[in-house]
A and B are shown apart, each in its own frame.
Chain A
Amino acid sequence: MTIAVIYKWAPDAQEASVDTAGRVDFSRAKAQISDYDAVAIQVGRQLADATGQGLVGLTVSGPAGGQPAATKAALARGLDSVLVLADDGLDRLGPSAAASLLAGLVGQLDEVGLVLAGDSSIDVGARMTPALLAGQLGWACLTDVERLDGSASQWSAQRTQPWGVETLSLTGPAVVALSPTAAPLKAPGMKDILAAGKKPVRLVGLAELGLTEPAAGQLKATAHLTGPSRQGVVIDVSDPDAAAQALVAALGQAGLLIEGRA
């Protein structure tokens, strides 16, 4: 049996810029394996070791995701091997298209019973790819999981909801999205990085898998996101206590404080 981890070689949206027309530019942002994905790989490593299974990484990417820098970065986190679908035009896929192609990659594996994922991607941030992938595969799915134990087809998951901590059991193949707190992050050491260069990498293209890029909607317009207009009232801080009093008075007048204060 094999455990798979989906990951993404993607730039952090924190490093993107937005032009005056609202177009998001990732050209100066450096691609990486996100902490979210690193946690998923780490949990996968622990489960694979505990259950004697292999651990394979799956990703869909533009050509850069198939480059050694990308595959080594993923493998150094603890994967045994990677299967990379890298092709032109697969750089900026939405979650639906990515999930559809990832399902095609899962279909390439023998006897995979568990697919792990991070909580979110760092570029799109929709938190939906695991659920869509499970839908594509017809598998069970849980998200926000903080602890996962089990064997080949029986898993026990724990997660925190607003009302408390839930323990759930899953039977059969499943996709599980892990919370960032599911494992402490450990940076790869020199030994991990050197070993990564010797691990198997399988690169495939759309044509080889008989897949086509899923259709997306047609972009009609972009714009800046704006919030409510702001007053921009500057409060003199030369006397901190007077400044604080002035602010509290203004907030109180606007009805923004708890009744009885200011």
Chain B
Amino acid sequence: MTVSYVLAAGQAQVGDLVQAARLVSDQVVALVVGPEAVAQRVAQAGLDQTLWLGEPGPLALEAFAPALAEIVRARPGHIWATRRPADRVLLGAAAAAIEAALVVGPTEVTAQDGLTLVTAPVNGGLALSTVAFTGPVALLMDGGAAPDGPAGAVQPVSGPTASIQLVESQPSVGQTVDLTAATRVVGIGGGLKAASDLPLIEDLAQALGAAVGCSRPVAEGLGWLPKDRYIGLSGAHIAPQLYIAVAISGQLQHMAGCRQADTIVAINTDPAAPIMAQADYVLAGDLYQLAPALTRALAG
């Protein structure tokens, strides 16, 4: 009988993990680190077992990595987790304990003739590959919604912990932007002539109710925007309803981060720029004329 473990660290948004795990395993067991309320919510996913590591107290979620490794080592199976920092650490410990191969962002996982076939983006999203594994696989993907089925049993368990303590947590004072959660995003690229021109884009974003993102050079080379605003291969992978790419050429490496947007608008002076062939609406013109015009049109 095959088993899959779904890791939940401090939050219960693991609905998609449970659903995917069921397709390739006879049993699905949740391993929950964090408050009991999270374990109870996870248990609503109709799992075979929900194991809860107990109230963390002063311990950081990552401190429970040795306990998870011990559980998985006793009965190896596939391991599923989200991309959040604590989940990655817990997944790493559990995967290393059983020498599981790692796959990030699987788009399809199937079981066939004793093999597990996993299709996933490679090199941050440059292409897709399908790989067959004979042993357990550790899979890192978006978690989906918190389950809302009938209440299930929560079984407390204990195990060794690492010495990592949360000393202090202070609410953010600066503005942090989660581009991956934004409904609308305006991205700015190398066609912007100066950092002092950014208000043109910020005004458009404000009129649109959108977050501001950028291509890699704007964040990492020019440093005009924080690095968490970079959309692309090694940056944010966004899937908003609307993405307006302003003065972004649309190289493969940028598109890897935004190709899942429902609607893409491209504004670029170069009608032959790659993004023009990958957009729903194409405006081959100057951002310095079109961005203010759009802001006015939205305000009007």
B17 proximal to A (CB < 8 A): no
Q: How many A-B residue pairs have CB under 8 A?
A: 276
Contact B127 A224 (CB under 8 A): yes
Contact A244 B296 (CB under 8 A): yes
Contact B264 A262 (CB under 8 A): no
Contact B92 A130 (CB under 8 A): yes
A108 proximal to B (CB < 8 A): no
Task: Scan residues 61-112 of chain B and give those whose CB is less than 8 A from a CB of chain A.
Answer: 62-63, 65-66, 69, 83, 85, 88-89, 91-97, 99-102, 104
Select which of A14, A130, A156 is within 8 A of B253 by beta carbon.
A14
Contact with A along B232-275 (1 / 0, CB 8 A): 01100000011000000001110110011111110000000000
Task: Scan residues 162-206 of chain A and give those whose CB is less than 8 A from a CB of chain B.
Answer: 162-172, 180-181
Cβ contacts under 8 Å, B130 to chain A: 219-223
Cβ contacts under 8 Å, B195 to chain A: none
Q: How far is the CB of A191 from chain B (nearest CB, A)?
A: 25
Contact B102 A234 (CB under 8 A): no
**A256–B242 CA distance with the chains assembled, in angstroms:** 7
**A92–B178 CA distance with the chains assembled, in angstroms:** 31
B140 proximal to A (CB < 8 A): yes
B191 proximal to A (CB < 8 A): no
Q: How far is the CB of B23 from chain A (nearest CB, A)?
A: 18
Cβ contacts under 8 Å, B60 to chain A: 142, 166, 168
Q: How far is the CB of B279 from chain A (nearest CB, A)?
A: 6
Q: How far is the CB of B172 from chain A (nearest CB, A)?
A: 5
Cβ contacts under 8 Å, B281 to chain A: 231, 233, 235, 247, 250-251
B132 proximal to A (CB < 8 A): yes
B151 proximal to A (CB < 8 A): no
Q: How far is the CB of B160 from chain A (nearest CB, A)?
A: 9
Contact A217 B118 (CB under 8 A): yes
A140 proximal to B (CB < 8 A): yes
Select which of A140, A167, A181, A218 is within 8 A of B162 by beta carbon.
A140
Interface of A is mostly: mixed
Cβ contacts under 8 Å, A181 to chain B: 227
B158 proximal to A (CB < 8 A): no
> Interface range on chain B: under 10, 10 to 19, 20 to 34, or 35 or more?
35 or more
Contact B99 A96 (CB under 8 A): yes
Cβ contacts under 8 Å, B138 to chain A: 96
Cβ contacts under 8 Å, A126 to chain B: 102, 104, 140
Contact A219 B131 (CB under 8 A): yes
Contact B216 A24 (CB under 8 A): no
**A100–B92 CA distance with the chains assembled, in angstroms:** 11
A84 proximal to B (CB < 8 A): no
Interface of B is mostly: mixed
**Contact A14-B164, Cβ < 8 Å, known A128-B104, A165-B170, A237-B283:** no
Contact B92 A230 (CB under 8 A): no
**Contact A245-B297, Cβ < 8 Å, known A128-B92, A141-B89:** yes
A81 proximal to B (CB < 8 A): no
Q: Which residue of A lies closest to B128 (CB)?
A: A223
A150 proximal to B (CB < 8 A): no
Contact B95 A125 (CB under 8 A): no
Contact A135 B234 (CB under 8 A): no
**Contact A125-B280, Cβ < 8 Å, known A14-B233, A131-B92, A258-B208:** no
**Contact A141-B294, Cβ < 8 Å, known A165-B169, A167-B168:** no
Cβ contacts under 8 Å, A262 to chain B: 297-298
Task: Scan residues 117-136 of chain B and give those whose CB is less than 8 A from a CB of chain A.
Answer: 117-119, 121-135
Q: Can you report 11 residue pairs joining A to B where beta carbons are below 8 Å apart?
A: A99-B96, A131-B89, A135-B65, A140-B162, A166-B168, A167-B168, A231-B281, A232-B279, A247-B265, A248-B294, A257-B209
**Beyond A237-B290, A257-B298, 15 additional pairs, beta carbon < 8 A:** A13-B234, A14-B253, A24-B123, A96-B138, A135-B93, A140-B163, A166-B60, A167-B167, A215-B135, A222-B127, A224-B127, A231-B280, A232-B277, A243-B285, A258-B208
